[in-house]
Amino acid sequence: QFPFGRRLPCDIYWHGVSFHDNDIFSGQVNKFPGMTEMVRKITLSRAVRTMQDLFPLEYNFYPRSWILPEEFPLFVAEVRMMKDSDPSWKPTFIVKPDGGCQGDGIYLIKDPSDIRLTGSIQSRPAVVQEYICKPLLVDKLKFDIRLYVLLKSLEPLEIYIAKDGLSRFCTEPYQEPTLKNLHQVFMHLTNYSLNIHSENFIHSDNVNTGSKRTFSSILCRLSSRGADVKKLWSDIISLVIKTVIALTPELKVYYQSDIPAGKPGPTCFQILGFDILLMKNLKPMLLEVNANPSMRIEHEQELSPGVFENVPSPVDEEVKVAVIRDTLRLVDPQKKKRKDVQIILPKPFERRQHIESCKNKVNLRYSYVMCYRCQTSEHVSEANEELPGAGLADRPEYDSTRSPEAGLPSLCLKQVFPKYAKQFNYLRLVDRVAALFIRFLGVKGTTKLGPTGFRTFIRNCKLSNSNFSMASVDILYIDITRRWNSMGIDHKESGMCLQAFVEAFFCLAQKKYKSLPLHEQVASLINFCEYHLAALDEKRLVCGRG
């Protein structure tokens, strides 16, 4: 640990909280700039909403949400309208304060008028969301899934999903929400940090039982009940890829601001925690994304009143150790260098002796760490005999003398992007809008577009004409920028943020390509802009040569 930073450069920096924990100029860091901001409840809802506007069917895995305070009137009006058109609709909503975590400040309501206005509504930014009333139950209990996702690179986009995750259970049998049970958090909220305080909480001593289990144990159970587990996984993969696609445009704006192209800087990767709820019909719904998921593999146990001890949690260990180990394997900068180096390992008998005598033999599950410490990677195959893919090193066709990875279990992280890129690339429209935005930002290190940048964008893309004068361009810029800035998201810089630019872009697209569906309007305008910018670049290149 280097609480005051470190002078000598490292290959990999493991920051505790955010990208900005230390100043770094090389290597790889385990956080992306702006990720914490991007996955806050309001920002995530906004990013998904933009995608829902373009692709409503593809993005129906996120509950209908409204942002408070600014969308409170819209929330009231839309609920009233839906109730009028379907009097049998008896919805429940969940109110979640922005930036909250671990169930903090969350409550359920039956009617918009029940929103608590402690202080003024202005002072409590939050998201109000349709509550999923019919979740899948196991042992009559509601549960959610925590899946670990590695965003290995933003450009090109590389996403990995861990093959196993955690299922976190409520501790009171579930009933559909009624006015009587709305406040029962142990029935409705699956947060571990809340349920641990219930007297019904069961610390799991294996992966199949208790209040926290592996997701694979749930899948086994579902599969034995005849559920289509393959389809469920494919739906989950699609949810993860689509969510990351919704986040990438703004992440790229943060990235170029913190690590400007052409300047020395690190590359980034990040482990994200996806919280997913399964509906009764097995449809996965996204609840939230965590930029800083807990990697604890122990839990506190009260030995006697007021006396706590940390004890290992086998379920956390099973899932999280593999995620960190394989993240390091995937980003390992030595991997390439090592390819051709032969490592001579001790013979099996010597290695067994070494393991038996090794002081680090506290817990063989951690042996991959020891193997690096003790320089005997053979520990690994011993330690992992019970894990999937274990024992490979003992197979004659598997040459363990090639690499220290040879004895490790197969990767728990499965690549899903670019593997499935073909299926999802058509969704990456806002990414292309963000590329236009970044091109016109001008000054390196900024995240907002000034009026001159916006005018240059319009001019270079040939978007102004007799029907759309430069005066109208300025009015559009001022109107949209003022509204976004009045929402009070980021006052540090003045100018037009990416979301405001996206709104302006959609506006221009609707104007230019009236009769098409929105996503086709936007795609056509992107093509139009890219075409004119490519022509301009070509012209500049020729002039430059001349």
Residues in the site for ligand ADP, rule: CB under 6 A?
Answer: 63, 94, 96, 100-104, 106, 129, 131-132, 144, 189-191, 275, 277, 287-288
Minimal distance, residue 127 CB to ligand ADP, in Å: 8
Instruction: Say how many C-beta atoms besides its own lie within 10 A of residue 519's C-beta.
Output: 18
Query: Do 145 and 165 touch, CB atoms closer than 8 A?
Result: yes
Nearer to ligand ADP, 6 or 280 (CB): 280
**Omega of the bond leading into 418 within 30 degrees of 0 (cis):** yes
**Closer residue to ligand ADP in complex, CB, 100/260:** 100
Which is closer to ligand ADP, CB of 104 or CB of 228?
104
Name residues whose C-beta falls within 8 Å of residue 430's C-beta, 6 or more positions apart in sequence. Answer: 50, 51, 54, 246, 249, 502
| Pick 96 or 448: Cβ nearer ligand ADP | 96
The least distance separating ligand ADP from the CB of residue 194, rounded to whole angstroms, comes to 8
Residues 322 and 164 sit within 8 Å (Cβ to Cβ): yes
Is the dihedral angle over the CA atoms 265, 271, 274, 275 positive or is it negative?
negative
Least distance in Å: CB of 277 to ligand ADP? 6
Q: Name which of 191 and 217 has its Cβ closer to ligand ADP.
A: 191
- Contact status, residue 409 vs residue 389, Cβ threshold 8 Å: yes
- The count of C-alpha atoms lying within 13 angstroms of the C-alpha of 304, restricted to the half-sphere facing its C-beta, is 0
- Smallest distance from ligand ADP to CB 416, Å: 22
Q: What is the smallest separation between the CB atom of 29 and ligand ADP, expressed in angstroms?
A: 24
Question: What minimum distance in Å lies between the beta carbon of 63 and ligand ADP?
Answer: 4
3-state helix, strand, coil in the chain (%, to 5): 45, 15, 40
Question: How remote is the C-alpha of 81 from its chain's centroid?
Answer: 33
Least Å distance between CB 65 and ligand ADP? Answer: 8
Q: In this complex, which beta carbon is closest to ligand ADP, that of residue 51 or of residue 380? A: 51
Residue 60 tokens read as: 């129906």
Shortest CB 94 distance to ligand ADP, Å: 5
Q: How far is the CB of 436 from ligand ADP (least distance, A)?
A: 33
Cα–Cα distance measured from residue 524 to residue 517, given in angstroms and rounded to the nearest whole number? 11
In the complex, the smallest distance separating the C-beta of residue 142 from ligand ADP, rounded to whole angstroms, is: 7
Instruction: Quote the DSSP letter at residue 444.
Output: T
Q: What does the angle CA 447 – CA 453 – CA 456 come to, to the nearest 5 degrees? A: 150
Structure tokens at 183: 């406040």
Nearer to ligand ADP, 236 or 525 (CB): 236
Cis amide linkage into residue 69, ω under 30° from 0: yes
Residue 270's CB is within 10 A of a number of other CB atoms, namely: 20
44, 288 contact by CB (below 8 A): yes
**Backbone phi, psi, residue 359, to 5°:** -70, -25
Which CB, 189 or 371, lies closer to ligand ADP? 189
For ligand ADP, which is the closer residue by CB, 144 or 164?
144
* Number of Cα atoms under 13 Å in the Cβ half of residue 531: 8
Cα 271 to chain centroid distance, Å, stands at 8
Residue 289 or 473: the one with the smaller Cβ distance to ligand ADP is 289
How many other CB atoms sit within 10 Å of the CB of residue 214?
A: 21
Q: Residue 406 CB, nearest distance to ligand ADP (Å)?
A: 40
SS3 299: strand
**Contact between 202 and 209 (Cβ < 8 Å):** yes
Q: How far apart are CA 41 and CA 54, in angstroms?
A: 20
Specify the residue, 91 or 391, whose C-beta has the smaller distance to ligand ADP: 91
Q: Determine the residue type at 277.
A: L
| CA pair distance 258, 19, nearest whole angstrom | 9
Q: State the minimum distance, in angstroms, from the CB of residue 28 to ligand ADP.
A: 28
For ligand ADP, the closer of residues 101 and 196 by Cβ is: 101
